[in-house]
Structure 1
Amino acid sequence: MYTVIGNVRSRALRVLWMLEELGLDYEHVGAPPRSEDVIAVNPAGKVPVLVVDGTPVTDSTAILAFLGDRHGALTFPAGTLDRARQDSMTQFLLDEFDAALWMAARHSFILPEQFREGAIKRSLKWEFEQSQRTLVARMAEGPFLMGETMTVPDIILTHCGNWADAAGFPITEPRLAEYLERLRQRPALKRAMAR
Structure 2
Amino acid sequence: MYRVIGSGNSRARRVLWMLEEMGLPYEHVPAPPRSEDVIALNPAGKVPVLIADNVPITDSTAILSFLADRHGQLTYPAGSIDRARQDSLTQFLLDEFDSALWMAARHSFVLPEALRQSAIKDSLKWEFGRSQKVLMQRMGQGPFLMGEVMTVPDIILTHCGDWASAACFPITEPGLEDYLARMRTRPAYQRAQAV
Q: Shorter-chain-normalised TM-score: which range? A: over 0.9
- Which residue type is aligned with residue 73 of structure 2? A
Provide, for residues 53-111 of structure 1, a one-character-per-residue CA deviation record: whole Å limited to 9, x for no partner. 11000000000000000000000000000000000000000000000000000000000
Tell me the distance in 2 between the aligned counterparts of 1:194 and 1:139.
Answer: 28
Gaps of 5+ in 1: none
Residue 187 of structure 2 is matched in structure 1 by 187
**Poorly superposed stretches of 4+, deviation over 6 Å:** none
Tell me the distance in 1 between the aligned counterparts of 2:170 and 2:40.
Answer: 37
Tell me the distance in 1 between the aligned counterparts of 2:54 and 2:43.
Answer: 16
Tell me the distance in 2 between the aligned counterparts of 1:54 and 1:84.
Answer: 30
SS at match of 2:77: coil
Aligned Cα root-mean-square deviation (Å): 0.4
Structure 2 residue 120 is the aligned partner of structure 1 residue 120: yes
SS at match of 2:41: coil
- Which residue type is aligned with residue 152 of structure 1? V
Residue 106 of structure 2 is matched in structure 1 by 106
Alignment of 1:45-64 (within 5 A): 45-64=45-64
Tell me the distance in 2 between the aligned counterparts of 1:54 and 1:71.
Answer: 18
Residue 139 of structure 1 is matched in structure 2 by 139
Gaps of 5+ in 2: none
Alignment of 1:1-195 (within 5 A): 1-195=1-195
TM-score by length of 1: 0.99
Tell me the distance in 2 between the aligned counterparts of 1:129 and 1:7.
Answer: 28
SS at match of 1:8: coil
Report % sequence identity: 74
Tell me the distance in 1 between the aligned counterparts of 2:165 and 2:192.
Answer: 18
**Number of matched pairs:** 195
- Which residue type is aligned with residue 13 of structure 1? R
TM-score by length of 2: 0.99
Tell me the distance in 2 between the aligned counterparts of 1:193 and 1:133.
Answer: 27
Provide, for residues 128-179 of structure 1, a one-character-per-residue CA deviation record: whole Å limited to 9, x for no partner. 0000000001001000000000000000000000000000000000000000
